[in-house]
Amino acid sequence: MKDHQPKHKPVLLKEVIDLLAPEQGESLLDVTAGYGGHSLAILDKTHVPKTSYFVDRDDNATEELKQLVKLKGATIINSDFASATKSLHEKGMKFDLILADLGVSSPHLDNASRGFSFQKDGPLDMRMDASKGITAADIVNTSSEEALTKIIKVYGEEKHAKKIAQAIMQNTPVSTTTELANIIAKCFPFRGKIHPATKTFQALRIAVNDELTQLRYTLPLWIQMLKSSGRIAIISFHSLEDKIVKDIFLEHGGNRYDADIKILTKKPITPGDNELVFNPRARSAKLRVAVKK
């Protein structure tokens, strides 16, 4: 067992703790536990690993969590959160606190072999769970031009999706992150502030990990699984995710007599300059929190 040496800086940590307001003895479900940054800070307040559940689909993360002294006695589940939540829900489990800090961890971006980053040369993979499922290379090399355009347009919100898909089709098979980034960069002779491959990489990552379906399917279950007065916090990193959270929170918590949650964040909370200085990766984070009635 080792002390915590964070590989990932938890974003909006103070804001999550302030709004979730964990209290001694409360149970916790962290569905994207990663390297434990948020979980450990919450456990410092609740002090009950026994009623705490930590889920991550990346076994590098869950193996690290198992080594953390403070998590001894907690339940650590290596699974995608849709499957893990379904099975906890079927067992009738309820929680005081639920946290989802969506997206990728720093090790995903920093480790070239995971294939998430166009700034590092690696296999075009992008699976959070590297043990199964299709890779980003499978998608670019086997999709039709029409299907690839749709993925890049819808999941990347990329207005040049067709042009990019055509360029990719002319250069298949593509097997590395650098090859893909260069194919896309060549489509755009004028360099803007962001790399022209940014949105396409986001799109492929969302498709590979089925990110939006996971969230859309599971968020209503998390709301059901909150105990009365329980709190739920969701941190998202792109507008497609944030829209799902906003809409589902409103469906359950609008100004209706039968609303089952009260939304605590009228607008999403975003990181301040003081956080961005030491953690620029937090820049697109948006936090929404609600409390069960």
Ligand X SMILES: C[S@@+](CC[C@H](N)C(=O)[O-])C[C@H]1O[C@@H](n2cnc3c(N)ncnc32)[C@H](O)[C@@H]1O
Interacting residue ranges for ligand X, rule: CB under 6 A: 8, 10, 32, 34-38, 55-58, 61, 80-81, 101-105, 128, 214
User: Least separation, in Å, of the C-beta of 244 and ligand X?
Assistant: 13
Return d(Cα 232, Cα 40) in angstroms, integer: 17
Choose between 68 and 164: whose C-beta lies nearer to ligand X: 68
Peptide bond into 173 cis (omega under 30): yes
Please name the residue ranges forming H helices in 111-253.
Answer: 136-142, 145-156, 161-170, 177-187, 198-209, 211-225, 239-253
Residue with tokens 């409390």: 291
User: Least separation, in Å, of the C-beta of 159 and ligand X?
Assistant: 27
With CA atoms as reference, report the closest residue to 86 among 31, 20, 26, 28: 31
Choose between 237 and 249: whose C-beta lies nearer to ligand X: 237
User: Least separation, in Å, of the C-beta of 58 and ligand X?
Assistant: 4
Single-letter amino acid code for the residue at 7: K
Choose between 8 and 199: whose C-beta lies nearer to ligand X: 8
User: Least separation, in Å, of the C-beta of 165 and ligand X?
Assistant: 25
Q: What's the burial of 89, exposed, middle or buried (CB within 10 Å: 0-12/13-18/19+)?
A: middle
Choose between 81 and 201: whose C-beta lies nearer to ligand X: 81
Helix (H) or strand (E) holding 235: strand 226-236
Choose between 257 and 278: whose C-beta lies nearer to ligand X: 278
User: Least separation, in Å, of the C-beta of 168 and ligand X?
Assistant: 25
